[in-house]
Amino acid sequence: MKTIIHDAIIINEGSERHGSVVIEGEYISEVIDGSVADLSCYDQVIDGRGLYLLPGVIDSHVHFREPGMTDKADIASESRTAAAGGVTSYIDMPNCVPPTTTLEALEDKHQRAAEKSRVNYSFFFGATSTNLETIMDLDPTKVPGVKIFMGSSTGGLLVDGERALYDIFGNSPLLLMTHCEDTDIINQNIRTFKKRYKGQNDFPVRYHSRIRTTEACYASSSLAVKIANETGARLHIAHISSKKELELFRNDVPLEEKRITCEVVIPHLMFCSDDYDELGCMIKCNPAIKSQEDREALRHALSTGLVDVVSTDHAPHLLSEKRGGALKALSGMPMVQFSLVSMLELSDQGYLSRPRVVDLLCHNQARLFRIEKRGYIRPGYYADLVLVDPDANWQVLKGRYYTKCGWTPMDSRTFKWKVRRTLVNGKTAYCDGIVIDGIRGKALKFRKPD
């Protein structure tokens, strides 16, 4: 089957231009400047007039909760949500039940995704203090990296002893993605609050960022950078949340030459601590949402090269689990449907160009994780594409978002931009409010490290 997406504004590889994209089977076969006069030779014509055509978003930080927590989310429901947001590939985290810390658990997740996932998929392998031998045997063409929780973890995934960290950093053949918060600092802050509030077991959620502080984040992030520099590891620090942490990163070398990179996630770009009064625990996440000054610093860093990729840290919980305050309410929020429209809104506000949006959500994700044949609009690449309307002016309301947990902190927000169509491997997976049944993604493949 030969399909053409006709006469759209293509944002790709640093430019915007009118053009058309031809798809044959799963792949892009041709990228044509301008419109095409004769459309009769195509089996399907998709009208792109007035729309922007981008590579499909790659979200390298999601928690789809399967196996073990499928009451709140699962691969089928959240990949459906991803497709509605223009996300055509995702990389899922290992803190499920059981955690993805064995080859058997990793294979189980791949089998589940092959049966259920509406978009393309892969999975991080989880580090523990005892599975280094397994990490050293991982296939770098099938596994994008190893996730290390240096703070804020459950299920035996916390690795905060320096000896274990040096062993993993010094021996892992794969990129290491770290969650950096210093547990000792957090626990001391909790003790201080309990003493001040005479033994209370919970506090208003607005104090979350005063418990999980910038100090806690920076102490752990700077330790990770120190160990990476000493061992030569490839380090990728997840969800940088503060102005202070940006000091740890460089923007004077190309991405492929960086040994240390960082991610910012949508919650820390869209919310600040002022929003706790209105949204409460719905925006509680780890690391905590921080000050307006921190949010502004992160937003401005999007265009400077200090931030390498933007993801969502999509982490659904039931609304009943979000009750409580800074200690008792669970941390995390469902966001995978809103990364692209949120970033385009930030572009409209002047924080970054539209081509830079595509760099952070698509190109750099593919470059950083060495994903084969995805993340760009190029002949020979998989036809993972998204058409976006710049003038939709739509409101997020229940029934217009798809996550299984049934809520989002974006509820009632109005967006100018809207995803109209998402194509996964050349097939329409989502179109104007409808997720297409029967579409299945593929396992991502990765180039071996140099």
Domain ranges of the chain: 2-53+381-393+416-435, 56-369
Cα–Cα distance for residue pair 436/414, rounded to 1 Å: 25
Distance in angstroms (rounded) separating the CA atoms of residues 82 and 346: 20
Cis peptide bond upstream of 287, omega within 30: yes
User: What single DSSP character describes residue 447?
Assistant: P
Strand pairing class (87-92; 57-62)? parallel
| 438: nearest Cα among 450, 424, 449, 448 | 424
**Chain-centre distance of CA 400, in angstroms?**
20
Q: CB burial class (10 A; 0-12, 13-18, 19+) of residue 328?
A: middle
d(CA 429, CA 442): 13
Residue 257 pLDDT: 95
If DSSP codes are grouped into helix, strand and coil, which group holds residue 441?
A: coil
Best CA proximity match to 102, nearest among 61, 148, 137: 137
Strand 176-179 and strand 235-237: the pairing is: parallel
pLDDT of residue 160: 82
The half-sphere exposure of 159 on its side-chain side, counting CA atoms within 13 A, is 28
pLDDT value, residue 26: 98
Alpha-carbon span 275 to 292, nearest angstrom? 10
Instruction: Classify 120 as helix, strand or coil.
Output: strand
Q: What is the pLDDT of residue 35?
A: 85
Q: Which residues of the chain have pLDDT under 50?
A: none
CA distances from 154 to 97, 151, 218 (A): 10, 9, 21
CA dihedral 282, 288, 291, 293 (to 10 degrees): -120
Question: CATH fold of 2-53+381-393+416-435, please?
Answer: Urease, subunit C; domain 1 (2.30.40)
d(CA 240, CA 177): 12
Amino acid at 212: R
Tokens of 176: 């290491």
Place of tokens 């000896």: 163
Angle between helices 162-171 and 214-231 (to 10 degrees): 50
Burial of 400 (0-12, 13-18, 19+ CB in 10 A): middle
Cβ neighbourhood burial of 104 (10 Å; 0-12, 13-18, 19+): exposed
Q: Which two tokens stand for residue 16?
A: 């915007």
Q: Please state the CATH superfamily assignment of the domain spanning residues 56-369 in this structure.
A: Metal-dependent hydrolases (3.20.20.140)
Task: Note whether 64 and 116 are within 8 A (CB).
Answer: no
Say what the pLDDT of residue 153 is.
58
User: What's the CA gap between 77 and 73, in Å, rounded?
Assistant: 6
